[in-house]
Amino acid sequence: MPDAITAAVFMFLVLFAAALWLGNSVIKVMEAYYQGLWMLLPFAMQMTLIITLSAVLGSSPLFRRGIQYLAQLPKSRNQVVALSVLVTGLAAYCYWGLGMAIGPLVAIYFAREAEQKGIPVDFLFLLGLATAANGTWQFGLSSSAPLLVATPGHFLEKTIGLIPLARTIWSPAAIAFEIVFVAAVIGIGCLLMPSAHRPISHFPGAARMLEVAAPLPPAEPSHSERLERTSFGAYALALILAGWLYVHFAIRGLGLDINSLNTILLLGCFLLHRTVHAFTAALRVAVSSAWPVIVIYHIYACVSGLIQFTTTGESIAGLVAAVASPATYPLVTAALGALFSIFIPSSGGQWAVQGFVVVKAAAALGISIERGILALGVGDHIGNLISPFWYVVFAGIANVDFRSFFGYGLLFAVLWFVLGVLAFTFLPC
C-alpha cells in the first residue's frame, strides 16, 4: 500500500474526476476545493495535539512502573491474557493514543513476567491481542467523530447541530458493544493461544525495551536550567489548566469535547513529568509522531469540500439510501466505512470525508444520525485491523516485524464487524 498522504492525494483526484463526471462545472469543482482546503485547520491542530500529548503522557515513568506492577499479578496463562487485554482496552478507552503507546509495553512486560514464572505465553499472539484490545478507543472517550460533533464550531454544525456524547459513545448500544468485544477478545485469547509458544526471549529487540539506561552524571546547571527543572512552572500551569476545566464542566455545565480532552491531557503531562524540562524533552521526541497530520487533514478537507459543495455528496448519499433500508443501513454504512478506511488511516479524517454522506443518507432513510456515526466507526476500525498502517506503529514500539503478528488482526476484524453491525442494528442508540 502507498503511504497515507499518497493514498489521500489519489482519493482526492478520484473524487475530483467524479464531481466533473456528475455534471459539475470545472469552476464549481475548483470553488468547492478552495472552500474545503482550510476547513479543517482547527481540527488538524486538535488532532496534532491529541497524538503528541498522548505520546508525552505515555512516556512518563509512572505508566511504566504501573505496567510492571500489574504484569506481576497473573498466576496462570488465562490470567495473563485477561489482565493484559483489560489493561490495554481500558487505556485505549480513556485515550486512543495512550492505548497505542502502552499496548506494546503491556505485551512486553506481561510476556517477560510469564516467561520468568514458566507460564506458556506466546509473545506475538499476546501482541496481537493487545492490538485488538486497542480497538476500544473507537467508542471511548477520544472517539473522533462523536467528540467532533459534540464540539461547537464543527464543520457539520449547521446541518446536524451539536450531538452530546450521551447519544453516541455512551448509548446502550455502544457500551454493550465495548463490553462484549473485550470479553470476546479475552475468550479467543484463552482458547487460541498457540501451544508451541514463542517466549519474549526469542525476540531480543522487544526484550531491550525492558532495559533502563543508566542516568548520565549530573552537570552543574545554570540559573536558567534550574528554573526549567523546578516543579513550580509545571505545577503553576497545571493549576491554571485545572481551573479552566472546572469552569468548563462545573460552572458552564459543558460536556467532554476535543478541546477539554486536550486540556486534560496537557494537565496530565505536566503533573506526571513534574518539570517543564522533562515535559519539553518528552515533547521533542513525541512531536515526530504527528508530522503526517500537519498536511494530510487538509487533503481530507479538500475531499470533504468536493463532497459537500458539489452534487457528489448528495449523489453518493442517494445511492446509499437507494441500496439500503432502515434495517440494513448500519451494515451498508459499516461496509462503506471499511472500504474507505483502507485509504484513510484516521478516524477523524474518515469522518471529514464521509460525515456528510452518512448524515444525508440517515436523513433520507429516517435513521438517527447517531446510529450512522456509530456504524461508520465499525467500518473505520476495520481498516485499522486489516491494513498495516497501525501495526507498523505497534511493531515499531515493540521492535518486531509487523508481519509476524499482522495476520491475527484478520480474525479480530471479522469479530469486530459482526458484533458491531449487530449492536448498532438492533440495540438502542
Q: Following DSSP, what letter does each residue of 125-150 receive, concatenated?
A: HHHHHHHHHGGGGGGSTT-HHHHHHT
CB contact set of 35 (below 8 Å; sequence gap of 6+): 305, 308, 309
Q: What is the mean pLDDT of residues 179-198?
A: 95
Report the 10 Å Cβ neighbour count for 172.
11
What is the full DSSP assignment across 79-103?
HHHHHHHHHHHHHHHH-HHHHHHHH
Tens digits of residue pLDDT in 294-322? 787 788 788 878 877 888 877 877 777 78
pLDDT score, position 330: 93
Tens digits of residue pLDDT in 200-209? 989 887 877 6
Q: What is the pTM of this model?
A: 0.75
Q: Which residue has the cell 470545472?
A: 26
How far, in Å, are 138, 258, 374, 387, 413 from residue 381 at the CA level?
7, 20, 11, 10, 8
Tens digits of residue pLDDT in 347-382? 776 787 788 888 888 888 888 999 999 999 999 999
Tens digits of residue pLDDT in 252-289? 987 777 788 789 889 999 999 988 888 988 888 778 76
Give the chain's mean pLDDT.
85
Q: Are 303 and 331 spatial neighbours (Cβ–Cβ below 8 Å)?
A: no
Tens digits of residue pLDDT in 87-118? 999 999 988 777 877 888 899 999 999 999 99
Instruction: Please say if the pLDDT value at position 214 is more than 60.
Output: no
End-to-end CA distance of the chain: 35
Instruction: Please say if the pLDDT value at position 421 is more than 60.
Output: yes
pLDDT score, position 50: 77
pLDDT band at 219, cuts 50/70/90? low
Collapsed DSSP state (helix, strand, coil) of residue 120 = coil
pLDDT score, position 153: 84
Instruction: Please say if the pLDDT value at position 215 is more than 50.
Output: no
pLDDT score, position 213: 42
